[in-house]
Structure 1
Amino acid sequence: MDAQNWVAMGYVKGAFGIKGWLKVKADTEYTDSLLDYPEWRLRRDRDVRTLALESGKVAGDELQVKFVGIDDRDAAALLRGYTVEIARADFAPAAEDEYYWADLVGMTVQNREGADLGKVVNLMDTGAHDVLVIEGGFGQKLIPFVSHYIDEVDGANRVITADWGVDY
């Protein structure tokens, strides 16, 4: 698989205990979501390792995980700072009218008049709803990802149509 088929989902904070356990900060809606995936890819710069999850649990707002073959604190400590990635192909299908953020990033956003507002570079969770962060020829735009402003998400063509003016 190439890099675009892997999605960053958190990072390794450091070693935990003496038996190879790690503390992981999950960047997922639910902290325990990462435990649903039996294989994780850890990446730091050009160093990439694919590891099998042996065990894991939620501890406060982080995960404590154990990988097959990482059996002591020294081996675990070497993984501090690695990004946790999950294969996009392993994601459960999204429900109707729901989308993974990873699928929206990179999509082109056009308004109803066909003007190209730019590409989705990120999303923000405001608590009330998600917001698309768009970068393009008209500058940065923040568009609430709600049905009032989003007319269509065309996944096949990677285009989002929005009720949003170029001068907003």
Structure 2
Amino acid sequence: MAAPICVARIGAAHGVRGAVKLWPFTEDPLAVMDYGPLTTKDGARQFEVTHARPAKDHLVATLKGVATRADAERLNGIELYVAREKLPATDEDEYYHADLIGLAAVNAANEPIGRVLAIHNFGAGDIIEIAPPSGPTLLLPFTNAVVPTVDLAGGRVVIELPQEIEGDDVPTIT
């Protein structure tokens, strides 16, 4: 069975009636209501979002059984998960981060480069982080030119390392 996928994080309490700020990690923020009860990563606790409305950069949500501000404050920081099989299928050339993390990274000759450590997005597009066997991690653009092949069934991504990255001259320190 696949590891559960984190779809949201509970934030600070909102108001006095038990509402919380909810930070969804789904493409459609309100989709967190479509998966049924959400759980903690270990499955020990379960939460049902009964109502949610968009706010500036998060949702304001009501959780079943959370009726007071004190109850809501105790939930701050809890990550909410859903079983991988409950998520919708992806389109071609579209992947869940969780499906990529841990894959082997190889070059075109199938020689090992490392493992996919994370996928980041700092606002200018997705970045794939590769952890080589030794040395610093590699941060590369997650584009078709740099990552021409994602082979989920084979457990690998093919990386075409750029020969030179324009503007990456190393300054001389004197």
TM-score (norm 1): 0.84
Alignment of 1:110-121 (within 5 A): 110-121=106-117
Task: Pick the aligned partner of 1:16 from 14, 36, 43.
Answer: 14
More deviation, 74-83/30-39: 30-39
**Distance across 1 between alignment mates of 2:84 and 2:43:** 20
Q: Aligned AA for 1:154?
A: D
1:5 maps to what in 2? 3
**Distance across 2 between alignment mates of 1:14 and 1:120:** 32
Alignment of 1:90 with 2:78, yes or no, is no
Kept in 2: contact 1:117–1:166 (CA 8 A):
no
- Secondary structure in 2 aligned to 1:134? strand
Deviations 1:92-147 (A, max 9, x none): 10001111111111111100122211111111214343111000225311222111
Structure 2 unpaired stretches of 5+: 166-174
Kept in 1: contact 2:146–2:162 (CA 8 A):
no
- The count of residues paired between Structure 1 and Structure 2 equals 164
Taking structure 1 as reference, are residues 108 and 7 closer, same or farther at Cα in structure 2, changes over 3 Å only?
A: same
Structure 1 unpaired stretches of 5+: none
Task: Pick the aligned partner of 1:160 from 157, 160, 167.
Answer: 157
Task: Pick the aligned partner of 1:143 from 124, 140, 145.
Answer: 140
4+ residue runs of structure 1 moved beyond 6 angstroms? 165-168
The structure that has the greater radius of gyration is 2
Deviations 1:55-92 (A, max 9, x none): 11111101111112222222222211212222222111
More deviation, 129-138/158-167: 158-167
Q: Aligned AA for 1:6?
A: P
**C-alpha RMSD over aligned residues:** 2.5
